[in-house]
Chains A and B, each alone.
Chain A
Amino acid sequence: MTWFLLKGLLRDRHRSLFPILIIAGGVMITILSYCWMMGVIDDFATTNAKLDTGHVKIMTRAYADISSQVPNDFALISVTGFLNTLKKDYPRLDWAPRIKFGGLLDFPDEYGETRAQGPVVGLGMDLLSGDSQEKQRLGLEKAVINGRLPQSRGEIIISEKFATDLGVDIGETATLISATANGGMAIQNFIVAGTIKFGIAALDRNAMIADIADIQYALDMENSAGEILGYLPNMMYNEKTASRMASQFNARFSGSADDQAPVMMTLREQNNIGELLDIVNMEIFIIIGGLIFVMSIVLWNAGLMSGLRRYGEVGVRLAVGESKGHVYRTMIYESFLIGIIGSVLGTVIGVSVSYYFQTHGMDMPGVIKGSNMLMSNKMRAIVTPASYYIGLIPGLIATLLGTMIAGIGIFKRQTSQLFKELET
């Protein structure tokens, strides 16, 4: 009997192929949307972590209070010793001291007069130590457009767009005009070793990156750093781990009223990222939930129509002697089978397409042009464990539900009524 019904199912495209395609399409759209939105969130969090917040960040309390102003006069001091302590206390994390600064970058002509100049957003990081992960973490090697990364003291890299706008060539001298940590004027010459493009609109306009030792020297911040960023293993952020670490760390200094005492903050606690992620997560929940609901209605309707279309067939089967219960159960089995096949197919396609976009991304520079948010121009999907089962909700449950509701008509109708529908 099972094989007999299966043959009918396979031969009738209206009962097999078309519903499978509808389910697969619905499931695919659901998964793709989910992966895409998760990818956008992940990119946002990862980009912020790499460039600005770390998974945890240590600053002085005074610096943390007004961190948006980059108050380097409140920077951490005796950083070398502090880093050694951190590496000993938290050996699983990679610690990266950084100095953020702003200033003017001036490009003189052959007579030493200003030929061109522009404001820069500066970042001093460990580019020259052998054990530094910074170049890999930020993908600087891949980001180089012209020239190369700094290989010795006194070299910097700048944004490709900044260099193009100001007509700067590789090897040119650039003078940084900024303020020291003590409020004095800082003037320091550098050589432009290369130009880079992060693919992040907020940075690609006017970034300058130099080795942290050069910036410490230029800004009078010997053995100091504005902030020390900590990264969990494999760049996998875990809010619970980060929070626990931050609580333990901060507890050690809770008794001190010193503004210069260090404070550890998690990624979520910085730049309102937590609130933003909560809002985005809620939006994702609403959007994906809405999508699943709509797809469920579509697939439910498909199941309903399929069931109604078969009232005639049901009439024949009842006349021949099949019981209503058996007819109903076989419809549910069929629906389950179709739902499973469609869901698996949709999941395979949806996850595959998502994986493609996870690997290759999609260039969307226009979307975030002018944005100050640290987001990649190339948006990516991300495949998570939930990607493999989220499609089952519309794919299987809605299909089954549609068929079950349509099938109730079998019981509610007089058998003779099914016959009349058979005759029409």
Chain B
Amino acid sequence: MKNNVLIKTENLVKNYPMGGRKFTALNDINLSFNSGEFTGLVGPSGSGKTTLLNIVGALDNPSEGHAVVIGKDTSQLNHRESAQLRNEHLGFIFQTFNLLSVYNVFENVEFPLLLLGMSAEDRKKDVLQALEWVGLSDKVKSRPAQLSGGECQRVAVARAMVKKPKIVLADEPTANLDAANSYNILDMMVSLNKELNSTFLFATHDEKVIKYLRRVITLTDGKVVQDIEKTPEPNNA
């Protein structure tokens, strides 16, 4: 398996205006992430985890420096190019699942494939496969309101993974889940990471998630204070 660099940040700075001053959310971030990584950005609230995730996900632009994602400098991309990057290569998983409530499970997972312009036949095959990965083949017709929190997050994972993205960005994916569901989701992510060689980048301060990470980057006040590789300790319970 070839581990090439997918994400590289150089002297990345992000400032937000606050009153008459500016608040520095990220300060001189220099990081790189290879394909197949299972990495977490950890740190207290306000440390800049989500901001970094947003910049890497082409949802926000840096104030200074560069973030190069799959060979593209996100600060140079227009709306359409950013959308294309997200559409083709990135998958997002949110703390609050964010499923589209009026669509059923199948349709929620199908949505990214519609944007890719795939045929109905191919979409159906891929959606069913993604739902099989997350163990929800029997919930195809269910609406989000009919699912438990854990099931909703599994649908969100299926939606993020259905297009087999190179990078999956997960912002506090277990924050709204109980321990059992959290481990279930994390086991599933590890499995998909191995099967698809997608890079998983988490923003988290959940110890359960941290146990699963192979690389932990600690942020404090917008700066990287620690970047270590470790042996994952998946839950054996």
Are B98 and A8 neighbours in the complex by a CB distance under 8 Å? no
Top 4 nearest A-B pairs (CB, nearest first) are A321-B87, A323-B83, A416-B60, A416-B54
B151 part of interface (Cβ distance < 8 Å): no
What are the residues of chain B within 8 A of A4 when measuring CB–CB? 107, 110-111, 114
Interface size counted on chain B using CB atoms at 8 A = 34
Would you call the interface of chain A mostly helix, strand, loop, or mixed? helix
In the complex, which of the residues B84, B96, B112 contacts A320, with contact meaning CB atoms closer than 8 Å? Answer: B112
B residues sitting closer than 8 Å to A (CB atoms) are 51, 54, 57-61, 79-80, 82-84, 86-88, 90, 92, 94-96, 98-103, 107, 110-112, 114-116, 159
**Complex Cα–Cα for A1 and B84 (A):** 16
**Complex Cα–Cα for A8 and B100 (A):** 9
Residue interface mask A316-342, B partner, CB < 8 A = 1: 111111111110000000000000000
Complex A-B: 29 CB contacts under 8 Å: A4-B110, A8-B103, A11-B103, A12-B101, A313-B100, A316-B98, A316-B100, A318-B83, A319-B86, A319-B94, A320-B86, A320-B87, A320-B111, A320-B115, A321-B90, A322-B83, A322-B87, A322-B115, A323-B83, A325-B80, A414-B59, A414-B61, A415-B54, A415-B58, A416-B59, A419-B59, A422-B96, A422-B98, A423-B98
A residues sitting closer than 8 Å to B (CB atoms) are 1, 4, 7-8, 11-12, 312-313, 315-326, 411, 414-416, 419, 422-423
In the complex, which of the residues B61, B87, B95 contacts A423, with contact meaning CB atoms closer than 8 Å? Answer: B95
- Shortest CB distance B74–A (Å): 11
Are B80 and A323 neighbours in the complex by a CB distance under 8 Å? yes
Please give 5 more A-B residue pairs, beta carbons under 8 A apart, in addition to A322-B115, A422-B96.
A1-B115, A12-B102, A319-B94, A321-B83, A419-B54
Are B159 and A320 neighbours in the complex by a CB distance under 8 Å? yes
Are A324 and B79 neighbours in the complex by a CB distance under 8 Å? yes
**Complex Cα–Cα for A416 and B26 (A):** 15
**Complex Cα–Cα for A197 and B15 (A):** 84
Kindly name the residue among A11, A312, A323 whose own CB sees the greatest number of chain B CB atoms within 10 A.
A323
In the complex, which of the residues A313, A316, A319, A325 contacts B79, with contact meaning CB atoms closer than 8 Å? Answer: A325
What are the residues of chain B within 8 A of A319 when measuring CB–CB? 57, 59, 86, 92, 94, 98
Closest B residue to A417 by CB, please name it: B60
- Shortest CB distance B108–A (Å): 9
Are A321 and B86 neighbours in the complex by a CB distance under 8 Å? yes
What are the residues of chain A within 8 A of B87 when measuring CB–CB? 320-322
**Complex Cα–Cα for A73 and B41 (A):** 107
What are the residues of chain A within 8 A of B59 when measuring CB–CB? 318-319, 414-416, 419
Are B98 and A315 neighbours in the complex by a CB distance under 8 Å? yes
**Complex Cα–Cα for A8 and B144 (A):** 13
Are B98 and A321 neighbours in the complex by a CB distance under 8 Å? no
Are B60 and A320 neighbours in the complex by a CB distance under 8 Å? no
In the complex, which of the residues A1, A419, A422 contacts B114, with contact meaning CB atoms closer than 8 Å? Answer: A1
Are A414 and B60 neighbours in the complex by a CB distance under 8 Å? yes
What are the residues of chain B within 8 A of A422 when measuring CB–CB? 94, 96, 98
- Shortest CB distance B151–A (Å): 18
A321/B112 contact (C-beta < 8 A), A7-B103, A415-B59 known: yes
- Shortest CB distance B51–A (Å): 8
Closest A residue to B83 by CB, please name it: A323
Closest A residue to B51 by CB, please name it: A416
- Shortest CB distance A246–B (Å): 65
- Shortest CB distance B167–A (Å): 12
- Shortest CB distance A6–B (Å): 11
What are the residues of chain B within 8 A of A1 when measuring CB–CB? 114-115
**Complex Cα–Cα for A1 and B59 (A):** 23
**Complex Cα–Cα for A76 and B107 (A):** 85
**Complex Cα–Cα for A12 and B80 (A):** 28
- Shortest CB distance A10–B (Å): 9
In the complex, which of the residues A312, A317, A321 contacts B84, with contact meaning CB atoms closer than 8 Å? Answer: A321
